[in-house]
């Protein structure tokens, strides 16, 4: 019985991670192209609200997801236009949009607060869902969760195994070289900022039509998730597989904080709930500190053999962002 509950809990972790998976995959693609879209938090709220509103009005869950993707793409387009064409700071524009789209969600969503609406029906996959352990974990969900599995694989293969994926890597790492080779850098950036926005736009409806069905305004419990998604994107080292792993890890921590609460009575529940955030900072610390000034200076003082060992360790931990991330590209 204990074991069954564990499986059910872990299946829940996989399901609740799926909106975060959409968001980190979208942000990974956008940042790979050299653009940072900081507005993810507001985008998730706005697309959750509009996805729910459209689905509740039309009765079609599919249209709800389409609306979410469309609005996500639109916000991506605004980020692309202001940062690429108008060369304004990507951080500034993203931050403003993060706040504005959040309030827009609360304002426009107020008539829909607490209403009943459709939700994505469960869709256990025949035969596969009957396999012990693996079945309930991976094949007894709804289409949203299966889509998140598919998109992880597609994004990974697209980025590392296809010609356009190679171009994308080049645009983020060496835009000037990509340009010399005939790539329209800014067009690529537009494309991936809009595509990434559309993927983030899946996250909102994934919440409001499946994982946390409904729209509850400010108490929907979705405020903050987008900021976490941004941190997970870095944690994932701009690699779709690692980013998805980060999303599952985060969902696992949140679940553990709920489950362990009655066991660890000495620790207040608020401390457990917030545990993922210090861990996230710690992870960023681990992957980044090797490249800081003072560590470099210390290292150069070490004897040769020790230095080599430490360097190797740091290199294993280190993830480096796309070199051109956050910068504008101008043709000379």
Partner 1 sequence: MLKDARVGGWGARLIGIGLALGFVALILLATGAPPFQAISLLITGAFGSTRKIVDVIATSVPLLLATSGLLITFAAGLWNIGIEGQITLGAIFTVGALRLFVDSGAPPGVAILVGMIAGMIGGGLWAALAGLLKIYGGVNEIFSGLGLNFVATSATIWLIFGPWRRPGVGSMSGTEPLPPEFALPQLPDMRISAWAVLLSLLGIALVYILLRGTYIGLKLKATGRNARASFVLGIPTSRYTLVAFVLCGLLAGLAGAVQVTAVYNRLIPSISSGYGFLGLLVAMLINYQVIWAIPVALFYAALIVGSIQLPIQLRLDSSLAGVLQGALVLFVLIIDGVRQRLRERG
Q: Kindly identify the residues of this chain, within the stretch 260-319, that bind partner 1 according to CB under 8 A.
A: 268, 270-271, 273-274, 277-278, 280-281, 284-285, 288-294
When the beta carbons of 14 and 84 are compared against partner 1, the nearer one is 84
Q: How far is CA 247 from CA 18, 23, 41, 184, 254, in A?
A: 8, 9, 15, 32, 11
User: For residue 11, what are the β-bridge partners?
Assistant: none
d(CA 197, CA 75): 7
Question: Which region, judged by CB under 8 A, interacts with partner 1, from 56-64, 135-143, 179-187, 226-234?
Answer: 226-234
Identify the helix (H) or strand (E) that includes residue 108: helix 90-109
Cα(233)–Cα(181) distance, integer angstroms: 29
Minimum CB distance to partner 1, residue 92 (Å): 6
Output b/e per residue, 56-92; b: 16+ Cβ within 10 A.
beeeebebbbbbbbbbbbbbbebbbebbbeeeeebee
By beta-carbon proximity to partner 1, the closer residue of 32 and 119 is 32
Quote the CA–CA distance of 209 and 41 in Å, as a whole number: 18
- Our CB check for partner 1 shows the closer of 33 and 40 to be 40
Minimum separation from the CB atom of position 149 to partner 1 (A): 27
For residue 9, give both structure tokens. Answer: 């809990």
**Closer by beta carbon to partner 1, 145 or else 225:** 225
Contact flags string 110-139 toward partner 1, x per CB under 8 A: xx----------------------------
Question: What's the closest the beta carbon of residue 185 comes to partner 1, in angstroms?
Answer: 17
> Measured from the CB of residue 169, what is the shortest distance to partner 1 in angstroms?
22
Instruction: List the structure tokens of 12.
Output: 């829940």
Report, in Å, the least distance between residue 190 CB and partner 1: 15
Taking CB under 8 A as the binding criterion, the range among 59-67, 136-144, 168-176, 227-235 that sits at the site for partner 1 is 227-235
For residue 221, state whether it binds partner 1 (rule: CB under 8 A): no
- Residues 6 or more apart whose CB falls under 8 angstroms from that of 277 comprise 228
Binding mask 82-111 for partner 1 (x = CB under 8 A): x--xxxx--xxx-xxx-xx-xxx-xxx-xx
Q: Is 227 a binder of partner 1 (CB under 8 A)?
A: yes
Structure tokens given for 106: 């609360």
Q: How far apart are CA 37 and CA 326, in angstroms?
A: 9
Which residues, 33 to 72, sit near partner 1 by CB under 8 A? 38
The alpha carbon dihedral of 322, 198, 46, 44 has a sign of negative
Residues contributing to the site for partner 1 (CB under 8 A) = 38, 82, 85-88, 91-93, 95-97, 99-100, 102-104, 106-108, 110-111, 224, 227, 230-231, 234, 268, 270-271, 273-274, 277-278, 280-281, 284-285, 288-294
């Amino acid at each position: 019985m204990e074991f069954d509950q564990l499986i059910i809990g872990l299946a829940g972790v996989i399901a609740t991670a799926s909106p975060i998976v959409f968001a980190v995959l979208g942000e990974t693609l956008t940042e790979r192209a050299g653009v940072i879209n900081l507005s993810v938090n507001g985008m998730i709220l706005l697309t959750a609200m509009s996805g729910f509103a459209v689905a509740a009005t039309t009765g079609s869950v599919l249209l709800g997801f389409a609306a979410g993707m469309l609005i996500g793409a639109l916000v991506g387009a605004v980020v692309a236009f202001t940062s690429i064409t108008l060369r304004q700071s990507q951080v500034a524009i993203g931050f403003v949009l993060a706040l504005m789209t959040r309030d827009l969600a609360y304002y426009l969503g107020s008539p829909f607060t607490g209403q009943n609406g459709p939700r994505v029906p469960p869709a256990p996959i025949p035969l596969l869902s009957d396999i012990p352990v693996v079945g309930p974990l991976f094949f007894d969900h709804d289409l949203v969760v299966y889509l998140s599995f598919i998109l992880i694989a597609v994004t990974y293969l697209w980025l590392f195994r296809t010609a356009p994926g190679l171009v994308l890597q080049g645009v983020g790492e060496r835009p000037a070289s990509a340009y010399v080779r005939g790539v329209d850098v800014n067009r690529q950036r537009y494309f991936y900022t809009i595509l990434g926005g559309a993927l983030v736009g899946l996250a909102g409806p994934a919440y409001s039509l499946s994982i946390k069905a409904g729209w509850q305004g400010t108490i929907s419990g979705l405020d903050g998730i987008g900021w976490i998604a941004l941190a997970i994107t870095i944690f994932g080292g701009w690699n779709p597989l690692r980013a998805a792993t980060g999303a599952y890890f985060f969902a696992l921590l949140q679940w553990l904080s709920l489950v362990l609460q009655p066991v660890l009575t000495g620790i207040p529940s608020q401390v457990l709930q917030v545990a993922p955030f210090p861990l996230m900072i710690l992870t960023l610390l681990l992957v980044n500190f090797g490249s800081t000034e003072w560590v470099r200076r210390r290292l150069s003082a070490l004897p040769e053999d020790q230095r080599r060992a430490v360097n190797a360790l740091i290199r294993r931990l280190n993830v480096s962002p796309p070199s051109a991330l956050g910068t504008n590209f101008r043709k000379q």
